[in-house]
């Protein structure tokens, strides 16, 4: 029987944990932990994502605010806001919502965020801290939320990682590379496959764990998966359904693969909700570190 790695029970457990942690750190700081999202322009997808963050923050007892800038901003304008929020002792978590308007230097903005407030885990400092965590020691740095959410999901469902052969499809700094670092730290043997990889099917067919993060609907089929593999589908792709309406699907052909896999994440309802969970989780962690330093 294939186990469906759904986010809902994980979220329920995490919300209880975060609510308790938020109460404790609020008493220590004399205020609620606070997350600030900097957004420039009016991207519809960003607006939905920000609303989801706001709702989850309120549900666990932390403050969330948005700094909304016009689409006409320059890099210097965004950097000025980031620097002001870096210096604000009442802000624990800070993210800059992507995409930024054309002409804004996203790399400069990304690395301007204080690493101790970088709850997206995107700065070069935190990426470097992740990769350099010594074997046998816990990862304590803030890290990219999607791969951290995947690790929480796998842990909740008691999916063994040590000694397993893991293949990641995709090499982005947001998912693929940090996912590799976290799985490697958990003692998995990790391969990253990407658009220039030759014969990726051969690599996939030997994998105990597959993490698909390419943004290409159905790129992983039953022909690529060995029986008993664990499948983590990061993809979120809109395609036309048979009824003419669009539907959300992952990078994995769920219907074809689920009967081969020992466990698989659904789309929607799998990896997606874990990203927002980890953003709030890391904001509380950042506030806890701030409280401990007082």
d(CA 30, CA 105): 36
128 labelled binding-site residue: no
Structure confidence at residue 53 (pLDDT) = 85
Contacts of 288 (CB under 8 A, 6+ apart): 21, 25, 28
> Could you tell me whether strands 263-264 and 3-4 are parallel, antiparallel, or unpaired per DSSP bridges?
parallel
β-bridge mates for residue 230, sequence order:
209, 263
Active-site annotation holds for 97: yes
Contacts of 12 (CB under 8 A, 6+ apart): none
Residue 102 class from Cβ within 10 Å (0-12 exposed, 13-18 middle, 19+ buried)?
exposed
Q: Which helix (H) or strand (E) holds 68?
A: strand 63-69
- From the list 34, 53, 164, 177, the catalytic residue is 53
Residues 85, 37 contacting (CB under 8 angstroms): no
Residue 102: CA count within 13 A, CB half-sphere: 0
Would you say the pTM of this structure is higher than 0.85?
A: yes
- Quick one: CA dihedral 204, 209, 213, 217, positive or negative? positive
Residues 209, 230 contacting (CB under 8 angstroms): yes
Structure confidence at residue 128 (pLDDT) = 97
d(CA 283, CA 274): 14
Structure confidence at residue 239 (pLDDT) = 83
Q: Give the number of other CB atoms < 10 A from CB of residue 242.
A: 6
Active-site annotation holds for 53: yes
170 labelled binding-site residue: yes
- From the list 32, 97, 117, 282, the catalytic residue is 97
> Could you tell me whether strands 230-233 and 209-212 are parallel, antiparallel, or unpaired per DSSP bridges?
parallel
β-bridge mates for residue 4, sequence order:
264
Comparing CA positions, the residue from 68, 61, 42, 64 lying closest to residue 53 is: 64
Structure confidence at residue 238 (pLDDT) = 86
- From the list 118, 120, 224, 251, the catalytic residue is 120
pLDDT tens string for the chain (294 positions)?
Answer: 899 999 999 999 999 999 999 999 999 999 999 999 999 988 777 788 888 888 889 999 999 999 999 999 999 999 999 999 999 999 999 999 999 999 999 999 999 999 999 999 999 999 999 999 999 999 999 999 999 999 999 999 999 999 999 999 999 999 999 999 999 999 999 999 999 999 899 999 999 999 999 999 999 999 999 999 999 999 998 887 777 778 889 999 999 999 999 999 999 999 999 999 999 999 999 999 999 987
Q: Give the number of other CB atoms < 10 A from CB of residue 100.
A: 23
Structure confidence at residue 35 (pLDDT) = 97
Domains of the chain (ranges; CATH) run: 30-114 (3.40.50.10860), 144-272 (3.40.50.720)
d(CA 135, CA 139): 9
Active-site annotation holds for 120: yes
Q: What is the pLDDT of residues 23-82, one digit of tens each?
A: 999 999 999 999 999 999 887 777 888 888 888 899 999 999 999 999 999 999 999 999
272 labelled binding-site residue: no
């Amino acid at each position: 029987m294939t186990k469906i790695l759904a986010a809902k029970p994980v979220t329920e457990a995490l919300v209880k944990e975060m609510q308790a942690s938020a109460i404790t750190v609020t008493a220590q700081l004399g205020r609620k932990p606070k997350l600030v999202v900097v957004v420039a322009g009016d991207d519809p997808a960003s607006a939905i994502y920000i609303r989801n963050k706001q709702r989850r923050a309120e549900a666990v007892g932390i403050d969330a605010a948005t700094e909304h800038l016009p689409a006409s901003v320059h890099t210097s304008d965004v950097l000025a806001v980031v620097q002001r929020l870096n210096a604000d002792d009442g802000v624990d978590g800070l993210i800059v919502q992507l995409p930024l308007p054309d002409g804004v230097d996203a790399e400069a903005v990304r690395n301007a965020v204080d690493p101790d407030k970088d709850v997206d885990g995107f700065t070069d400092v935190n990426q470097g801290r992740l990769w350099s965590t010594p074997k046998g020691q816990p990862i304590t740095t803030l890290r990219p939320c999607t791969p951290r959410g995947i690790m929480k999901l796998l842990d909740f469902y008691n999916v063994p990682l040590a000694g397993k052969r893991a293949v990641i499809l995709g090499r982005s700094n947001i998912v693929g590379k940090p996912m590799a670092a976290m799985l490697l730290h958990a003692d998995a043997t990790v391969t990253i496959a990407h658009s220039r990889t030759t014969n990726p099917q051969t690599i996939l067919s030997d994998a105990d764990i597959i993490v698909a993060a390419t943004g290409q609907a159905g790129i992983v089929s039953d022909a690529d998966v060995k029986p008993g593999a664990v499948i983590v589908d990061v993809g979120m792709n809109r395609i036309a359904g048979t009824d003419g309406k669009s539907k959300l699907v992952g990078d994995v052909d769920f219907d074809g693969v689920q009967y081969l896999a020992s466990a698989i994440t659904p789309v929607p309802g799998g990896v997606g909700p874990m990203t927002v969970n980890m953003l709030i989780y890391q904001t509380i962690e950042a506030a806890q570190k701030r409280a401990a330093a007082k």
